[in-house]
Chains A and B, each alone.
Chain A
Amino acid sequence: MPSSSEPLRAVAELPDISRLRIVRRWHVGRWLAAAVILLLLALIARAFAQGQIEWAYVYRFFAVPAIVSGVVNTVIMSVLAMALGIVLGVLFAIMRMSDNPVLRGVALGYVWLFRGTPVILQLLLWFNLALVFPVIGVPGLFEARTVDVMTPFAAALLGLGINQGAYTSEVVRAGLISVDAGQYEAAQSIGMTRLRSLRRIILPQAMRVILPPIGNEFISMIKLTSLASVIQYAEVLHNAENIYYANSRVIELLLVAGLWYLIIVSVLTPFQMLLERRFARGAAKKR
């Protein structure tokens, strides 16, 4: 019997193709698609170039102090509101998974309330809190007029942060559930309490599942801060609006704001990758 590597002689003589040249495939579809897209882009570009946009204004207002300070305020609010959202999210996710039915109920109610109402409505409610409680404080310790406390900054931070916490708590809960139950038991078997095992064993593993959606939510938050313009918080869109109220260059200033959002998102996105790498510790490498 012939070895398997030896071609069978019984088959008719085959033509030798080893010296023939390979003709490159033409990929007609790709060229066609590229041509159509380029044509469309050209048409759109022409439309904008001929449309009533004074590009000089976009350039002139791109980095004026009001816009730059608006960008800074947008970044500050995004970071702080997200930080508040993550703290609340972790807290309520742990409460939701607690043995204590009261804590579970509170966590459930929190998510239900803040996920169930529009965030713009929550912002307006926080900002107008003075209508309900003219004075807030701890009796005997301190008191303040609510209008003085509930500045646009405070109202935006509370509104965006607390709303974000409701969403983040579900993301964190998904992460906690994803960790194998055996990890809790192993942590308990070396004498850890529930909280310590959460902090040392469970959360670090859950981070791998939590981080990608949190990155997503952070990008969403950067753009959500524009809603705070309705309560006079001086973020980039609010400041752009103020400028076009004065000079009527509406589209130009909206483009300025839009370009800045793109820049902020592009600059912050790589940080997510760094964080994800940090928490991939010990995960089986793809070989």
Chain B
Amino acid sequence: MDAPLVSIRDVRKSFGSFHALSGVSLDVAAGDVLCIIGASGSGKTTLLRCINQLVELDSGAIWIDGELIGYRTHNDRLYPLGEKEIARQRLKTGMVFQRFNLFPHMTALENLMEGPVQVLRRDKAEATREARELLERVGLSGKAESFPADLSGGQQQRVAIARALAMRPKLMLFDEPTSALDPELVGEVLAVMKELAVSGMTMIVVTHELNFAREVADRVVFMDHGLIIEAGAAAQVLGSPREARTRAFLAAVLG
């Protein structure tokens, strides 16, 4: 196997006296789809936010694409990166949020073009063409000129996925992308994510959609109280979990 795209080593993070992550290590190979499951408060969202540097680590290290994130090493010392360098490192990852977080003052098309034009300084005509292609890919070519307020939750989340893809990331992070949606809108978002997985994108998905995990994930990680309790092939973790806590969680979720 090639060097993993993402390597996480002994990451710890506390918020006050609450230990969100108590030593998490994980590798994700390029092209893999990893689903992280677990109860709320288990640390899965914090882990995702650490990978995208929205949260600073207390200790431990994360490498993405061979690059240590957040620090520069020089003469056996770690120098914290400046804001611009961190912004540059974030370009490797795209993030999809639970609450979509589309820019409400821009149309769907403008949402997709904002990053490529303002941050990557791409040619505007080319960025427009690419943005329209992406909207078509998520099934929203007719909604280019719509504002987020005029789109359904499912449509907004698909625009948000396209917005992240417009930056051509190597890794896509999904933070409970369907939990803010009405039940009948979940399917259209999962379908887009499935297509993305099939196309070979590396994805880390924090989710409660066990069927999606079973169908799409290469690997599933179960987290509890800031620790990885069990990790393995989707069929194994979801089908015949080894750990008692995993079994208890699955039993509670599946009812």
Write the residues of chain A forming the contact surface with B, with a CB cutoff of 8 angstroms: 180, 182-183, 185-194, 196, 200-201, 204-205, 279, 281-285
Contacts and interface: CB of A to CB of B under 8 A. Distances in A.
B84 A193 contact: yes
B105 interface: yes
Contact of B87 (A186, A191, A201, A279): A191
26 contacts: A180-B101, A182-B99, A183-B101, A185-B54, A185-B101, A186-B95, A186-B101, A186-B103, A188-B87, A189-B52, A189-B93, A189-B97, A189-B164, A190-B163, A191-B88, A191-B90, A191-B119, A192-B87, A192-B119, A193-B83, A193-B84, A205-B103, A205-B105, A281-B147, A282-B104, A282-B106
Interface string B71-115: 000000000000110011011011101010111111100000011
B-side interface size class: 20 to 34
B148 interface: yes
B54 to A, nearest CB: 6
Contacts of A200: 114, 118
B114 A190 contact: yes
A186 B119 contact: no
A90 B102 CA distance: 24
Contacts of B120: 191
Contacts of A188: 54, 87, 90
A192 B118 contact: yes
The 8 closest A-B pairs by CB, nearest first: A190-B115, A186-B101, A284-B149, A282-B147, A189-B95, A182-B101, A191-B119, A282-B105
Given A185-B54, A283-B149, A284-B149, A191 B101 contact: no
Given A186-B97, A193-B87, A282-B149, A205 B104 contact: yes
Given A190-B164, A191-B90, A193-B87, A185 B97 contact: yes
B167 interface: yes
Nearest to B115: A190
A282 B149 CA distance: 7
Contacts of B147: 281-282
A204 B52 contact: no
Interface in B26-78: 52, 54
Contacts of B88: 191
A54 to B, nearest CB: 55
Contacts of A190: 90, 94, 114-115, 119, 163-164, 167
Interface string B159-185: 000011001000000000000000000
A191 B54 CA distance: 11
B198 to A, nearest CB: 24
A186 B104 CA distance: 12
Nearest to B104: A282
Contact of A182 (B91, B97, B107): B97
Contacts of B99: 182
A57 to B, nearest CB: 53
A201 to B, nearest CB: 6
A113 B148 CA distance: 42
A185 B91 CA distance: 13
Nearest to B49: A185
Nearest to B119: A191
Interface in B200-236: none
A196 B97 contact: no
Given A191-B115, A282-B148, A284-B149, 17 more contacts: A180-B101, A182-B97, A182-B101, A183-B103, A186-B101, A186-B102, A189-B52, A189-B164, A190-B164, A191-B91, A191-B120, A192-B118, A192-B119, A201-B114, A281-B105, A282-B147, A282-B149
A193 B148 CA distance: 23
Contacts of A193: 83-84, 87
A283 B105 CA distance: 7
Nearest to B149: A284
A183 B101 CA distance: 6
A189 B55 CA distance: 12
Contacts of B167: 190-191
B167 to A, nearest CB: 6
A183 B106 CA distance: 12
A194 B115 contact: no
Contacts of A180: 101
A196 B118 contact: yes
Contacts of B107: 282
Contacts of B90: 188-191
Contacts of A186: 95, 97, 101-103
